[in-house]
Amino acid sequence: MTAGLGLLRLDPRVFWSMTILEFRAALKAITGELRHADPPTRAELIQLMQAYPDGPPTDE
């Protein structure tokens, strides 16, 4: 609880709704264990944009 509410400064509602995996990832990010990943390639970015569009599809 000290790490979640104190170190990470999470809102209690967020803290209690997190999964263990989410909590571990947050701790790794703040402690430096989480290494920087390479940015996605253009093809990967396009694939992600198609899978998760920002808004309704538009006809072009």
Distances (CA, A) of 10 to 17, 33, 44, 59: 11, 19, 31, 41
Q: How far apart are CA 41 and CA 43, in angstroms?
A: 5
The pLDDT of residue 38: 79
* Measured CA angle at 23 (ends 16, 55), to 5 deg: 85
The overall average pLDDT reported for the chain is 87
The pLDDT of residue 34: 65
At 1-27, the pLDDT tens digits run: 889 889 899 999 999 999 999 999 899
Map tokens 């920002």 to a residue: 54
Q: Are 4 and 24 in contact (CB under 8 A)?
A: no
